[in-house]
Each structure stands twice: as structure tokens, then as C-alpha cells.
Amino acid sequence: MLLKNKKIAIIGGGPGGLTLARLLQLKGVDVKVYERDIDKNARVQGSPLDLHDDLGLAALRKAGLLDEFKKNYMPGADKETITNEKAEIFFSGHETKQTENFGHEHFRPEIDRGALRKILLDSLLSENIVWNSHFLSMEEQDEGWLLHFKNRERVYADIVIGADGANSKIRPYITGIKSFYTGITMLEGNVYEAEKSLPKISAILRGGKIMAFGNEKDILMGQKANNEIGFYASFKAEENWAEKSGLDFSDKIQLLDWFKTAYPEWSSIWYELFENTTTPFIPRPINCVPLDQTWKALPNLTMLGDAAHVMPPFAGEGVNMAMLDALELSECLTNNEHNSVQAAISFYEINMRKRASLIAQESLENGEKMHSENALNTMLDFFGGK
């Protein structure tokens, strides 16, 4: 096997990096994940995820974790409700009977991001994840890399894999190609004890998702585990809007005033979100890699997920793509079909870039549709035609 007697370092402990670690661990590979968080409880784990049968679920199936997923997913959390800016309902998926249909291409069960991370972490040997590892830099040494961290001793690895997200520190060692700003910014918030804190919105949400469209702006939200709701106010803005806005994202009163000004036609029902969010709000400028990016494969370094192909979230494929990257990369490195690690990496990267480009294009187009004057009707047509 190509990885025999080699030390593999994965930088980043998100779904993609952890999935890869699990798959390599099953093959007996010496693999370690270096994650900058102090421990598994260090931060809130984002919004819920819907996994697709041929992407994220395929990776979990190969990793032997599908049964654990079935125990932890949230039935009904994939049910969409579409409203206008007045919170008037135009479409509800709650009227469709919920059926568990694993293996069907259109069955996309939702799971809380934290629950998925726990499944993956619990599947790893404790020595295969190294917490509190803030990556700083690395340099070539022998046929591998010497990795430097902010708060631990340097480490040698024969092969390094960047799974450290959109602001990857590994990516520049592979390519100088940078992502570009799409013109859309999302402001993220999280609300605890949502049924009590958000009675009007919870009555519309019903444990699923809401997509609200009006005046070229959106509010997107989803039910999380433990009675939490995560939401995004999504809008077109100039680059570096967050810095230029002068807003204190830890000040709920200030952010509510901003919402009233930026979303003037929107119902006061939405004020609940800003009045009850656990601060700080998190501004997220939406970037995308060029659709035609390419680079020469290296013999000991590659990347996956957002590090390789950050894209808008408007196709719902981000985590699914990262987990499929992990599946395909693990197969290339361990299936004995390539005569060198560099050939295996090259094969993986060529295919990864092709499919990522297609999804990125779809995501860009969807983002424009969702922030257009006719967004509500466009999305009603889409869901009505499903």
C-alpha cells in the first residue's frame, strides 16, 4: 500500500477531515488530525446538514457509520417552509408524509452538525486526534513536511492534507489561486430555547426549515438539536461590509436596529431572531473559487472540502462535497491502483476539481436567483416541481 510506514497529518477537524481520518484508520494507516479547538466542546457547531445518498451518506456507509447516523438524524428537519417578507406561508413541505428511505437519491436526512461531528470523533482512536493544535506554518523536510504549531512541539509528517476550511493555511503551499467575493454576505445567529424565545417563528418552523424571500433579501433558518435554531440574514453587500458597517456584532439592540433599516419591508415577526440571539452575530462574506482552477499535483500534499473549493452554500453541497472528497482521496491512496502517492493525489485532484466546478457554478446561479426581485416565485416553482 502507498501509505505503508508513512505518517499522515490532516490539518482541520471538520466533517471532511474527520471522515478521511476514519476511512484511513480503517485501513490501518498512521493518521493524526490536528485541530486548533481546545477540545470537542470548544464552539457552536453551525447549522444542520442534509446528507445526500451518493455523497455524505456514501462516505458514512464506507466508514461503517451509517447506523450511528440513523440513530442521530432529525426526522422532519428537512421539511421546507417558504414565506415572503411578511412571514406569509406560500409553501409547506410539512403536508408531505415523512418516510425514511435511505438509499433513495432524493432522501436527504438532516443531522445537527454537532451530532455528526460527535459520531465521527467517537469513531476515531483517541490518539488519532490532537486538540489545541493551532497550525502556523510548515517546511519541507526529507520527503515530507515539518509542521509548526502555535502551542505545541513541531511534528513531522510524510503526507499533509489540508482540511482547514475556507481560510486554509495549507492551500497557499499548493496553489496561489484565491477565491473571489460573490457579492453576498450572510449574518449568522443562533437562538437557544427557541420554542420559548421565538414562539411565532417556531410555529412556522415546526422543527424544519424556513426560507423567507423579499426585496432581494433572504432569511434562512433551520431547526438544530436541543431546541436551538440557527439562522442567516442573507443580502447583497459590498466586500468587507462587516468592517465598514461599524456594527458591534455583540450588541443585539444595535443589530436589531440594523435589521429594521436594512430590511424595512419585513414583518416585525422576524425581530424575535435579533432580540434573542446569543451574541455575537457572525458575519460571513460568501466566497467562491474560480471555476477553472488548476494546479500541478504534489507528491506529499493535498487538500479537501472548503480548503480546495469553497463555494456559496446555495446548492446545499458543501459538507457533502467535503465528505465525498474524503472518500475518494482515501480510495486513491489505499486501493493500489496508482504507482505513486503523487499519481494518486493527481487522480483525486483532477476529479475533485471537475465536480466542484459544476457545483460551484450551480451555487453561484442559485445565489443570484435567491437574491433577485423574483426570488419567491423562483423558489416556489422549484419546490412545487419537486
Which residue positions form the known binding site for FAD?
50, 113, 306
Q: Nine-digit cell at 3? A: 501509505
Strands 209-214 and 217-223: antiparallel
Return the percent helix, strand and coil in the chain, to nearest 5.
35, 25, 40
Backbone phi, psi, residue 230, to 5°: -110, 140
Quick one: which of 149, 148, 116, 119 has its CA closest to 132? 149
- Note whether 354 and 325 are within 8 A (CB): no
Strands 209-214 and 159-162: unpaired
- Note whether 246 and 272 are within 8 A (CB): no
Annotated binding-site residue numbers for NADPH:
43
- What is the C-alpha separation between 3 and 6, in angstroms, rounded? 5
DSSP of 25-41: HHTT-EEEEE-SSSSTT
Q: Nine-digit cell at 145? A: 513536511
Annotated binding-site residue numbers:
43, 50, 113, 306
- What is the C-alpha separation between 345 and 335, in angstroms, rounded? 12
Quick one: which of 163, 150, 132, 138 has its CA closest to 31? 163
